[in-house]
Structure formats: C-alpha cells, structure tokens
Structure 1
Amino acid sequence: MTTPPIHAPDLPDADLLRLDHQVCFSLHSASRAFGGLYREALRDLGLTYPQYLAMLVLWEHGPQRVKTIGERLHLDSGTLSPLLKRLEAAGLVVRGRSPQDERSVTVRLTEAGARLRERALPVPRTVLEATGLSVPEILALQEVLGRLTSSLDGLRQD
C-alpha cells in the first residue's frame, strides 16, 4: 500500500513524524536496494560500488588528483585513500606524487584498469533496466536529487 502524497500544511506535526513520510527513509531504502543490485552487477568485475565510482571518474577523465576524485564523489580522504589503496593492490590504478606539487597525489589507470572498462560497459544498462523506470524518468529523478543535494549541502556549515 502506498502512502498518499505529503501536503505539509495539511498535516499535523505528529503525522509528519510517520516513517512513511520521511524523505530520508525513502532515499535510504532506495540506496539499500541499489547497493544489492550493484553488489551483484559488479561481482564479476571484482569491484565494490565505491571502487566502481572511482573507476568511473578515471575512465571518464583520465588521471586525476586524489582531491579531485574526492570532490567529485563527495568522499573525504579518510574514506577515499583506503579505497584507492585497494584498487592499487588489485593492479587497477597507480598512485604517485605530482612532479608539480609534491603534496598532491595523482591517480592513473593501469592497463588492467583501462581494460576493465570494457567489461563494465553492461553495468549501467543492467541497472537502468532493473529500476523499471524510463530514461526520461531517470533523468528527471537525477535532476530532482541534484537539486535536493545542492539544497542540503547549502545548509551545512563547513
């Protein structure tokens, strides 16, 4: 049974407190479902979902500074560094100090990492088909989630 749309002015605070009215819970549930889907879809690639995201950045943009990858994925260095170490141990990436700035670490794909892209090509279509949504629906959802993320990020006091 689906819950009717939320019209906040029409609902008392106690009704807004219902689990089914929590946007965060809907996002959490969807995220868990995606996690299971990606776990299965990425199994043969030997990647976790966060590793897959890092590889997407490198496949799309080539060598990147660790800081740039972290910004793109919204990950801090404490989360990103171990992830990149595991990718390096798997022979998919190489990390190295930038000759221009010794404080900066650059990540680049190895030949094996670049070849893995071909095996990953079916993953997005598999995920798209599993959602049961059309491409326009996915694009609209991405647009709304992008606005939501911007709004929430704008509230943070860094």
Structure 2
Amino acid sequence: MGNKKNLFTLAYAKKFLNKKGLELFKKSNQTRSSNSFKSLSYTVLSSLILIIIFFSSPIINNFKNNLITQSIEVTNNSKNKLENVLTGKAIENEQNDKLDILQIFEDIFQYEDKSTSTVRLSASTIEQLFKDTKYNLKDVRKNKL
C-alpha cells in the first residue's frame, strides 16, 4: 500500500482531471507538420530580410558618399607659396567668387544681433565720473537714476 501512494503517474493524473471535467492537454485542431512549416517559413523570411539589409547597407553608403555629398578636394600649396616668397616672386591670391548664401545670412544676422547702443565703462572711468559729478554710491542708490 505504501508504494501505491508514492506512485503518481501521468495516466492517473489524466483520469483524475477527466473525472473533474478538466483536460490535462489541449487538443489542437492543426497538425504538427503545418506548425513546423509555418515557423520555418517565418525563419527563412526573416533571415532573407536581414541578409538583404546587411548586403545593401554598404552599397547605399557608397552611393551616398559618392553622389549625394560631393567631397571637396583641398590642396596644400603652402610649400610652393613659401618658395615664391623666398625667391621674391609674386603670390597669386585665389578667391572663390561663389557666394555661400548661408554665410551671407549668418553675417547679416550676426550684424543685426550686435547692439550698438551699449557702452562699457571701466571701474576707473566710473569712479572719475562720480568724482566729477559729485555723486557717491549712497546718493545713486537713493535717487536711482
């Protein structure tokens, strides 16, 4: 009898739960093979999407670098200019005649932002001004000119 209490099998649990009106395992209407093909198709589809993304990213990056953002080539002529100065030859000044609209707007807005009416006085100038007008700090605080 002691052994029967210790033996608890899955079949016994199934019978007990069926008596109570419960099911131990749900019965599925779909077959196992259709579920495995569905998960396999999702795996293949997601892996193909990842491969395409990682394959096309360097191509898109090269396209952006070559066509969209034109690289500006800068040459260093400082050695040639130094040799021309040392030999006494004239230096050619190269100017770019193209006007950059953004730089023009920045110059205009910076000029408008500067206030021309402000005057800054040093401490010694203010002290001399107080002596000339016979003011002291207490009078200024009282009158608040």
TM bracket, shorter-chain basis: under 0.3
- Normalised by the length of structure 1, the TM-score is 0.19
- Higher relative contact order (CA closer than 8 Å, sequence separation 6+): 1
- Normalised by the length of structure 2, the TM-score is 0.20
